[in-house]
Amino acid sequence: MKDLNDGGVLVVGCGRMGGALLDGWIAQGLRPASLWIEDPHPGDRLLALAAQGAHVNAPRPARPAVVLLAVKPQMMAGVLAGLAALPADVPVLSVAAGVSLQQYGAVLGDRPIIRAMPNTPALVGRGMTAIIGNAHAGPGHLALAVRMFSAVGEVVALEAEVQIDAVTAISGSGPAYLFLFAEALEQAARGLGLPEALARRLARGTVGGAAELMVASGRDAAELRHEVTSPGGTTAAGLAVLMRPDGLSELVAGAAEAARDRSVALGR
């Protein structure tokens, strides 16, 4: 974090994702005094950081090491206009959905710009972030982005910006799909006669534990499924319903396509 501590990090917008990144960076050694944070409604967390030396809604540094844009897409136009005067070698990272590299470049000029698509498990350090840079973002800039987003989980590099829409549909929206499955499992438990508190505890513990097992084992999901499915047993009976031609796989594929198409439409 020495280069970031020396140059400073400008964070524009500090909602849940921006806050998660701040926590991750500070845990890895970024000093609060090296942070310049702009947010129209600073909460207790930002005020606490200000007491530790962070510059909250203060004049910007002349040449920060990096800029993070974490504002809503509809606010981006006004934000970008205010950043155009920054030196052209200052890299800009953005977590805003639906704003293309071309749109950023039209306002910010020929500078390194990297789009990132993190997801909400970043709030607990288990995020999945995909990144893609423009033609001016070299290996060093991409390595910087990987280092910064690794503070809240895993990072993958995309080959082309068009892949962002598919990533949005899978890792971006994927946590909501999993939460819905946990809801459905809880409802099924209640339908089988279990009390509400027990149904919730079983559903959440099962979904969370299974996810941890899959990640920790590093094994293929299908392999793990086969391992816990005894021929003719209870799990096989349940899977026979979920794996019908119009079952879970088909529903998930349809959901992902709908999310991808919506991401494309928003980008336009």
Residues at the binding site for NADP(+) are: 70-73
DSSP labels for the chain?
A: -HHHHHH-EEEE--SHHHHHHHHHHHHTT--GGGEEEE-SS--HHHHHHHHTT-EES-PPPSS-SEEEE-S-GGGHHHHHHHHTTS-TTS-EEE--TT--HHHHHHHH-SS-EEEEE--GGGGGT-EEEEEEE-TT--HHHHHHHHHHHGGGEEEEE-SSTTHHHHHIIIIITHHHHHHHHHHHHHHHHHHTT--HHHHHHHHHHHHHHHHHHHHHH---HHHHHHHT--TTSHHHHHHHHHTSTTSHHHHHHHHHHHHHHHHHHHH-
Residues making up the binding site: 57, 70-73
Residues making up the binding site for NADPH: 57
